[in-house]
Amino acid sequence: MKLLIVSTSTVHGKPYLSYLDKELPCFFTEGKNILFIPFARPGGITWDEYTEVATKKFSALGYTMRGIHTFASQKEAIDWANGVFTGGGNTFVLLKTIYDSGLFELLNEAVRNGLPYMGTSAGCNLTGISVCTTNDMPIVYPPSFKSFGWVPFNINPHYLDPDPSSKHMGETRETRIKEFHKFNKQMVIGLREGSWIYVDGEKIELKGELSARIFNASKEPFEIQSGDLTPLLKG
Amino acid sequence: MKLLIVSTSTVHGKPYLSYLDKELPCFFTEGKNILFIPFARPGGITWDEYTEVATKKFSALGYTMRGIHTFASQKEAIDWANGVFTGGGNTFVLLKTIYDSGLFELLNEAVRNGLPYMGTSAGCNLTGISVCTTNDMPIVYPPSFKSFGWVPFNINPHYLDPDPSSKHMGETRETRIKEFHKFNKQMVIGLREGSWIYVDGEKIELKGELSARIFNASKEPFEIQSGDLTPLLKG
C-alpha cells in the first residue's frame, strides 16, 4: 500500500496544501489522474464546491482531478484513477457517505492493491482501524465506526497539547485518548498540524518538522521524532 | 417534567458542583434519595469511584446518594429514587451503557412521569433530541445517537467562543454546529460553563451569570440572556 496520512490540509497562515508542494509530486507518481472524494463536506459545502477547491490546487501541480461523484459509477472512477485524495471535513459525514454509497469495499480493495491514497484530517482518520479518535462532532450516525485499517493504529489528527493557562473544563486531547484506551487497545498517533505519515509497502515514516505523540493502552504517552516508524510498530 | 440541564459540573478554580450549592437544594425537593448514574466514567474511572465523588458532594448537602449499579435491579433503583443525577464524562460511553443495560425506557418513563433529573455535561446532552452536538470523542459505538428528547432542542455543553488568536486549524464550535445544521433541523443551545437550564413543566429558564448562544438551521446565531426561554421556543 502507498499512503499519505496528513494531519491537516492547511497550516496557519499558508494557502491550502501549500506546505506539501514538494511532497505531493513525489507521492502521486503513477499517473496524472487523481480522484477526489469530497464526502466530508467541510462547513457543509457541496461535493461540487469542495471538488473545485481541491482541483484548483492539483491542477496547479499538473494533475487532472475529478470528483468521484462526476463518474457514471464508482467503479469507473476507481478504474480511471492513478491516485486518490480524500479531503477533510466531518469524519462522520465522510464515513457514513462511504458506507451508504457502497464505496467502502471498492476503495478498500483498490488501495490494498496499490492505488496511492492521500487523506487529510477526516480523510486521514479513515486509514486507521476506527474513527474513534476523530475530533469531529457526530452530526450524523454512520452504520459503523470501523474504518479501513490500512495501518495498524488509529490517528488523532490536529493533535493539540494541553494549554496550561486554559480555564476551560472540557477534556484535553490527552485525557480523551486515555479514555479511548479504557475501551480500545490499538496505538494512537497524535499527529500535529504540519506532520504527516508516509507509507510505502513495509516502509512507514513520520514526516514534517514536528514530533508526534504516541499513546498506548498500557504505557505513558511519549514523543517520537520524524523518521522511520517501523521499530515503534514492532516494539 | 423537572430537569436541571447543566453545562459543567465544575467551573474553573472551584470545587466540584460548588457553584450550584444554592440551586441543588431548591431542585431536589421531593425527598432525600438521589440516584446517581455513573456510566459516563470521566477519565475512565469505575462506576464505584465516580459514585464516591458525587456522593461526597450530595451527602454534604444532606442527601442520601446511591449508584444505580448498587441495586438488585434498575427498577428497584428508580423506585427508590426521589431524584436522579447523571454525571459527565464521555457521552458515547454513557449513552451506549444506558441502551445496553436496558435503562433507556425505564428512565425515560420515570422522568416523563415527574422524577427530577439533573445532568451535567454528558448527562445534560441526554436531555436533548440527540447527542449529535456533544464535544466528546466517539470512543465506543452506541446503537443510536438518539437521546431522551425531554426538551425540543439539542445542547452543546462547555460552549466555547472562537479564539481569534488561535493558530489551530481544527473547526471552531460555531463551525461544527453550523455543519450540524446541514443535516439536522433542531435548535442548538450553546451552554457556557457556569450556565444551566431549569425546566419545571411548562417553565423553562436559563440560569447562571452568562448568556447562551442559540443556533438555528436557518438563522444567524444569537445570544440570549438569563431568564425565561419560553418565547424562544415558541418563536
The pLDDT value given to residue B235: 63
Asked about A136 being catalytic, the answer comes back as yes
For residue A206, give the DSSP letter.
Answer: E
Q: Note whether A126 and A99 are within 8 A (CB).
A: no
From residue B231, give the alpha-carbon distance in Å to each of A19, A142, B7, B48, B235: 50, 35, 22, 42, 6
CA distance A65 to B150: 48
Closest CA of chain A from B153, distance in Å: 14
Global confidence as pTM = 0.96
Helix (H) or strand (E) holding A52: helix A47-60
The pLDDT value given to residue B174: 94
B90-A170-B171-B190 Cα dihedral, nearest 10 degrees: 90
- Using a CB-CB cut-off of 8 Å, the residues of chain B touching A171 are 42, 136-137
Among residues B87, B52, B202, B187, the alpha carbon closest in space to that of B132 is found at B187
A171-A174-A179-A185 Cα dihedral, nearest 10 degrees: 160
Q: Which three cell numbers stand for residue B161?
A: 467562543
The pLDDT value given to residue A166: 87
Q: Note whether A37 and A43 are within 8 A (CB).
A: no
Q: Structurally, what CATH architecture does the domain formed by A2-158+188-211+224-234 represent?
A: 3-Layer(aba) Sandwich (3.40)
Q: Does the distance separating the beta carbons of B131 and A133 come in below 8 Å? A: no
Domain ranges of chain A: 2-158+188-211+224-234
One of A7, A9, A130, A136 is an active-site residue; which one? A136
Q: Does the distance separating the beta carbons of B11 and A169 come in below 8 Å? A: yes
Pairs across A and B, CB distance < 8 A: 119
Q: Does the distance separating the beta carbons of A138 and B137 come in below 8 Å? A: no
The pLDDT value given to residue A233: 87
Give the best residue of B169, B175, B178, B188 to mutate against chain A (max A CB count within 10 A). Answer: B169
CA distance A159 to A169: 18
A34: phi then psi, degrees, rounded to nearest 5: -115, 125
Flag residues of chain A having pLDDT under 70: 235
pLDDT, averaged in runs of 10, over chain B (235 residues): 97 95 97 98 96 98 98 98 98 98 98 98 98 98 98 97 86 94 97 97 95 96 95 82
The pLDDT value given to residue A235: 63
Closest CA of chain A from B130, distance in Å: 9
- ipTM for this model: 0.94
Q: Which residue of B has its CA nearest to A176?
A: B137
Closest CA of chain A from B80, distance in Å: 31
The pLDDT value given to residue B163: 87
Helix (H) or strand (E) holding A65: strand A64-67
From residue A145, give the alpha-carbon distance in Å to each of A134, B137, B140: 10, 12, 8
